[in-house]
Amino acid sequence: MKLFRISLVRKLFVLLLLISGVSAAVLFYYSGSNPLLVSTDYFIYFAILMLVVFTVFSYLTFVKPLDVVLEQMEALIAGKPYKKIYTNRIDEIGVLAHFFNQVTKGFSEVSSDIKDRQRMIDELTIAASLQRDILPLSSPVISGLQVIAKNKPATEVGGDIFNFITSKDKTYIYIGDVTGHGVAAALIMTMATSLISVFADSCNSAYEILVSVNRYIKRHVKRAMFMTLVMLSWDAKTEKLTYVGAGHEHILVYHVDTGVCESILSGGVALGMVPDNSKLIKEQEINWNDGDFVVVYSDGITESRNVAGELYGLERLKNALIEFAPQYSAEGVNYHIAQDVSSFAKGHIQDDDMSLIVIKRDKSLTKGADVSNQSITWSA
């Protein structure tokens, strides 16, 4: 469609040409029949009549439609309510009206996007607040153990989960990772944490807790959502440390007498993948002595990348533990590993949540370790 096929300039030219033609015809007619009738007064009256016709036509054709467009534009600029302009005109005024409608349509779409974005931000804020309430505020104080936990979420709402629960002379230390991030991950974290807390009081072992938790999670979680987890169980009476794996990362054990770092595959199957995991997970004892370290972590650490795209990896984590364990307490080891990971990944966007729990066996501690920074916030 040619928008300027009937333009305002052309309309004005045609109108002036028409008035000039009519005027010339009238004057020619009267001057030929009776020259005396062509007087100055008659010419003035006729000119006034033509001016009135021209004014009325111009107002109805140009001024009034343009005023409608300008009125809506002024309302838009002033931030007041405006209306869509309905017109079939294809001249300049029609172009202005069409342009106004297109611009305001874009504003409406952007406004809708902003409202949706604000709604999502509000939901994420609630989920982040919920997650902060779930995670422990500080590392626990456990007789005979030094325990330090740190967390660094990749986004406002992360998928990592860990906690410490003491029940019936046993302390359960667990760390897990929910698939994905955002609100859905936070909700599964909430569910898992709540279930573990409930079953810790009624069950007698980490094995029983995870079998019960899995049964309930599977009923309410979509197929694509699941959680890997490893749970340690410290028995204060027998001074034994056991673990149950649910498809999580390795457990690292540093033996101070030999300087060897052992990596134990946690095993098992992730929570929420099968209805009954009772035959797929098992509880096993960790052999360690006074001064030894046990480290559990989320894959955000081993899968963190540097600017060259290289993974931090399990071997670097083991080497870091071998380097720092002979020199530091659990707090120091946690801090220096965090520094090492952060230095390695400097300049690269953090892709996943990072959680790290370092435990040191220390029989001299009867009331837990004297820790300078018990906050779970990532040290580096």
Residue intervals in the chain for CATH 3.60.40.10? 135-361
DSSP single-letter state for residue 311: B
Q: Strands 283-286 and 293-297, how do they pair?
A: unpaired
DSSP 128-146: HHHHHHHS-SB---BTTEE
Structure tokens at 8: 């305002």
Higher pLDDT among residues 336 and 221, named by residue: 336
pLDDT digits (tens, 9 = 90+) for 194-247: 899 999 999 999 999 999 999 988 887 766 678 899 999 999 899 999 999 999
Please give the Cα distance from 359 to 36 (Å, whole number): 122
Is 135-361 assigned to CATH 3.40.1010.20?
A: no
pLDDT digits (tens, 9 = 90+) for 163-175: 999 988 899 999 9
Is residue 86's pLDDT more than 70? Answer: yes
H or E stretch covering 6: none
Structure tokens at 257: 């007498």
The answer to pTM > 0.75 is no
Please give the Cα distance from 337 to 295 (Å, whole number): 11
Question: Any idea how long the chain is?
Answer: 380
Is residue 94's pLDDT more than 70? Answer: yes
CB-based contacts of 187, cutoff 8 Å, min separation 6: 127
Please give the Cα distance from 277 to 160 (Å, whole number): 21
Is residue 309's pLDDT more than 80? Answer: yes
DSSP single-letter state for residue 368: -
Q: What percent of the chain has pLDDT over 70?
A: 65
Distances (CA, A) of 9 to 13, 90, 98, 135: 6, 13, 19, 72
Closest CA to 358 of 284, 283, 261, 239: 261
Identify the top-confidence range among 84-98, 168-182, 284-298.
284-298
Q: Strands 145-152 and 283-286, how do they pair?
A: unpaired
Is residue 5's pLDDT more than 50? Answer: no
At 265, is the pLDDT very low, low, confident or very high (cuts 50, 70, 90)? very high
Task: Give the ranges where the chain is alpha helix by DSSP (H).
Answer: 8-33, 40-58, 64-77, 92-134, 182-202, 206-220, 299-302, 313-324, 330-344
DSSP 231-261: EEEEETTTTEEEEEEEB--PEEEEETTTTEE
